[in-house]
Amino acid sequence: MNKNKKGFVLWFTGLSGAGKSTIADGVFEVLKTNGIKIERLDGDVVRENLTKSLGFTKEDRDENIRRIGFVANLLSRNEVGVIASFISPYQKQREELQRNVNNYIEIYVNASLEVCEARDPKGLYKKARKGEIKNFTGISDPYDEPQNPALELRTDKATPEECIAEVINFISKKIYS
Amino acid sequence: MNKNKKGFVLWFTGLSGAGKSTIADGVFEVLKTNGIKIERLDGDVVRENLTKSLGFTKEDRDENIRRIGFVANLLSRNEVGVIASFISPYQKQREELQRNVNNYIEIYVNASLEVCEARDPKGLYKKARKGEIKNFTGISDPYDEPQNPALELRTDKATPEECIAEVINFISKKIYS
């Protein structure tokens, strides 16, 4: 992989349980191992450091994504790669990212709601169905399917390793060729 | 100036009216003009993009500074220079920055309260004295003087241009030599 100096933001969007974090972590490790300047922004990092006190109303979710986009853009325009994984359910949010974030690359991590709910790795769908979690994407809050993602991964048909390889292959061509 | 790749955070602390923004803006321009990768974080940028909804209680001020520190560190550890200017009145906040932020360089922009209050460029001291602004640093909230800043600028004795030159001279030696 030819390391040039272009910054970018790989933005993984999709339902809870679709496999965003697993794939994003894998891509991050490959790039890091290849000596590429790269930062990982995920829910835990961001809630702790950027968006404490924001909740799950539409307004707070918008502000949450906007704030992450601001930081991602600061890094990207300074030639740092960013791996971001957030449900980011609204088309409008993602259009705003597309406009405002340097070299924004949208990756749709796609598995059907049924598959995600069957996986339910953190038991969140179960809680959402019982009404214990409100505004839960896919159950009680909408997920707008990406209209024109740079890449779509079908995690119900391919393994995480295959998906990671697909992303690496994609950005090798797009960014590092 | 020899442009090497070291990231850093120049953190300007001091009372309102001490001249932080003027000097930080000037330093930013000089570095930018020299082709150095540099970002400017100031109150306006940060309030709009990172800390909307935070107020001026001690708790909110701490969270404010912590959040800026997080972003500054992301940039600095990726070889980007950061010019940050915030009152950042508490010693504990600044000690936390010193611990957590890559290549944190503290610059104390020092003018006495009397001088700052006489300048009062935004009329804020007047409002604070009338009680129209609460928790105002220097009037109704403390400013802990930096114990061991990397550099101290006496803006009651030197012009902004002299102070800017002093900072550039300092970092030329410290970062770019």
Domain boundaries, chain A: 8-174
B88 is catalytic: yes
Mean per-residue pLDDT over chain A, rounded: 93
Residue A47, chain B, CB below 8 Å: the answer is no
Contact A63, A45 (CB under 8 A): no
Contact B111, B15 (CB under 8 A): yes
Interface predicted TM-score (ipTM): 0.90
Closest-CA residue of chain A to B81 = A78
Residue B100, chain A, CB below 8 Å: the answer is no
Residue B79, chain A, CB below 8 Å: the answer is yes
Contact A82, A70 (CB under 8 A): no
Residues of chain A with Cβ-Cβ distance to B49 below 8 Å are 66-67, 70
Look up the pTM and report it.
0.92
Residue length of chain B: 177
Smallest Cβ distance to B71: which of A37, A53, A71? A71
Contact B70 A78 (CB under 8 A): no
Smallest Cβ distance to B74: which of A39, A66, A67? A39
Residue A129, chain B, CB below 8 Å: the answer is no
pLDDT tens series, chain B, 177 aa: 445 468 999 999 999 999 999 999 999 999 999 999 999 999 888 888 998 877 778 888 889 999 999 999 999 999 999 999 999 999 999 999 999 999 999 999 999 999 999 999 999 999 999 999 988 999 999 999 999 999 999 999 999 999 999 999 999 998 877
d(CA B102, CA B78): 10
Give the best residue of B80, B82, B96, B100 to mutate against chain A (max A CB count within 10 A).
B80
Question: Of 3.30.300.160, 3.30.70.20, 1.20.1440.230, 3.40.50.300, which CATH number belongs to A8-174?
Answer: 3.40.50.300
Q: Which of B70, B79, B102 is nearest to B3 (CA)?
A: B79
Looking at domain B8-111+141-174, its CATH architecture is 3-Layer(aba) Sandwich (3.40)
Per residue, the 3-state secondary structure of chain B, as one string, reads: CCCCCCCEEEEEECCCCCCHHHHHHHHHHHHHHCCCCEEEECHHHHHHHCCCCCCCCHHHHHHHHHHHHHHHHHHHCCCCEEEEECCCCCHHHHHHHHHHCCCEEEEEEECCHHHHHHHCCCCHHHHHHCCCCCCCECCCECCCCCCCCCEEEECCCCCHHHHHHHHHHHHHHHCCC
Q: Which amino acid is at A68?
A: I
Smallest Cβ distance to B74: which of A52, A53, A71? A71
Among residues of chain A, what percentage have pLDDT more than 70?
Answer: 97
